[in-house]
Amino acid sequence: MYELVQVSAKCYYINCPAKIGVYTGDGQNVWLIDSGNDKDAGRKVRQILDKKGWHLAGVLNTHSNADHIGGNKYLQGQTGCKVYSGGIEAAFTKYPVLEPSFLYGGYPCRDLRHKFLMAQESHVSDFSDDEFPKEIQVIPLPGHFFDMVGFRMPDDVVFLADCISSRETLEKYAVSFIYDVGAYLETLDKVEKMEAAMFVPAHAQASDDVRDLVRCNRDKVHEVAEYILSVCREQVCFERILQKVFTDYGLTMNFEQYVLVGSTLRSYLSWLKDTGKLTAAFRDNMLLWQKI
């Protein structure tokens, strides 16, 4: 864990729970793609950079999930580096309580206000900032989260963030977190058509061809959608659907999984309703869903 792996002349990744990319630029000044999940991750990253004699010029955040921005504050405090983000992701990075609040749908209880769902705040600069490395292409990859992006480096390495998961992750967790199902499927279509010397997803192995894995992720989305429709053959409330998902997929419910799977399930319900596959009705002061 936290091994530095070289994938091209100028690009590396640090092998950790959410892979951290490294772009060496001029060979001395380096940029990170994300920063890990907490202060300890940031410290380990800095040790790697110091050992190589690299100066941290900045952190490029793909999105604002805590496991991708958790090291920002430490690295920024230690080195004075800039942290770059954009859109809604920038707001969540500046005000990290937004993540558990969004997931829960209200003020999050203490069980949700911890480093796995709420990073420490960090100062953010936009991708349009004059000091952003202009040779790096920012690639919009929405769906998993609001304004998630990837990055294409000058030597044709593409860091894909969380838009595809490994087969093992899909098998273990079944219902991977998705904010906007429609946008996510469009992103998968986009990635499937991409060409690159190497792709580095945050939660899957680096590869020069991710098309099979893209199709695996797409198939899982449609599998989950069909399952939800099967649960909604008769009118059913959200909590009952959520219970069925946890039971039938063999998941363990706790506060973290309740909000992560619950938020994703609401996104599926919205997508299925908007695409004309579900209807919603209010009865006895309950919102009930049913397959059309």
Mean pLDDT for 138-165 is 98
Q: Where are the alpha helices (DSSP H) in the chain?
A: 39-52, 66-69, 72-79, 87-94, 98-104, 167-173, 181-192, 211-231, 238-248, 255-274
Q: Render pLDDT for 188-229 as a digit per residue (tens, 0 to 9).
A: 999 999 999 999 999 999 999 999 999 999 999 999 999 999
What is the rounded (10 degree) CA torsion for 164, 92, 267, 203?
20
Q: Where is pLDDT greater, at 21 or 1?
A: 21
CA neighbor of 119 nearest in space, from 101, 139, 97, 146? 97
Mean pLDDT for 109-136 is 97
Taking the C-alpha atoms of residue 83 and residue 34, their distance in angstroms, rounded to an integer, is 9
Mean pLDDT for 21-41 is 95
Taking the C-alpha atoms of residue 100 and residue 108, their distance in angstroms, rounded to an integer, is 6
Helix, strand or coil for residue 144?
coil
pLDDT over threshold 90, residue 75: yes
pLDDT over threshold 90, residue 1: no
pLDDT given at position 36: 97
pLDDT over threshold 90, residue 70: yes
Domains and CATH numbers, the chain: 3-219 (3.60.15.10), 222-291 (1.10.10.10)
Taking the C-alpha atoms of residue 86 and residue 265, their distance in angstroms, rounded to an integer, is 26
Mean pLDDT for 231-250 is 98
Residue 112 DSSP symbol: G
Q: What is the pTM for the complete model shown?
A: 0.96
User: 145 near 179, Cβ under 8 Å?
Assistant: yes
